[in-house]
Amino acid sequence: MLYLLCVALPALCDPVQLMRARRQQLVLDLHLLADPGDSLLLQHTLDRLLRRLCPSLHVFHVSERAAPFRGRGAAAGFPSLAITFFLHEAYGEERILRVLDFLQRPPWQYHHTESSAAPPGVHAPPGGAALRPYLLPSRDFYSLGAGMPLWGVRPVHCGGEILRVTLHSDYDNYEDAVRLYETVLQRPAEEQKTGFCWFTLHTGTWMNLFMVM
């Protein structure tokens, strides 16, 4: 299985009209290419996830490739694309727990934990400090299959909720990749530090959409 990142912009020349269109239309679509026979299940799975969190955002679309995906060694084990939901504690712990439980059931598969020393599942906090249950597996990533993006959920204490699409790039190609997306998205990247920047793609009442590089 493969994925394809696709950006679409309205064909407008007038700057005022273009700015208005940006506010009304999402400029990012994520098209996932599934193995033959898998597309309906994966689309249904993603639709169920988004209905729980941000039903107004329709950014994930699943199609089928002509032949099954065949991984290419170790590089195929670490996709360059990750999708992370940052969910606010103020809306309830049960909500975060339900999303984590959803990601731990088929067809989702555990992929890896950000801390390489920690096993999947329940993690003991440093120094024996007590953590609330939903914080324990919050460093885990999940996948819908080989070659597909990684998915995770993280609790946040302040600010708005975020759907973050992270696109990893080689160090040598990073600046070229940023310029490419600045051209395609027709907006400048917001840089926080060297080697890290983001694009604000959508701001909404419940969920904001960012693309991070």
Residue 72 lies in a domain: no
Instruction: For residue 206, give its domain range.
Output: 2-66+77-212
Within-domain flag for 199? yes
Task: Kindly state whether residue 189 falls inside one of the protein's structural domains.
Answer: yes
How far is residue 164's CA from residue 185's CA, in Å, rounded to a whole number? Answer: 16
- 14 domain-assigned: yes
In a domain, 25, yes or no: yes
The mean pLDDT value of the chain amounts to: 77
Quick one: pLDDT band at residue 26, thresholds 50, 70, 90?
low
90 in any annotated domain: yes
Residue 129 lies in a domain: yes
Map tokens 């002509």 to a residue. Answer: 66
Q: How many C-alpha atoms does 119 have within 13 Å on its Cβ side?
A: 3
Per the structure, the count of domains in the chain is: 1
Distance, CA of 81 to CA of 166 (rounded, Å): 6
190 found inside a domain: yes
CB 61 within 8 A of CB 30: yes
- 2 has a pLDDT exceeding 80: no
In the predicted model, what is the mean pLDDT of residues 49-54? 86
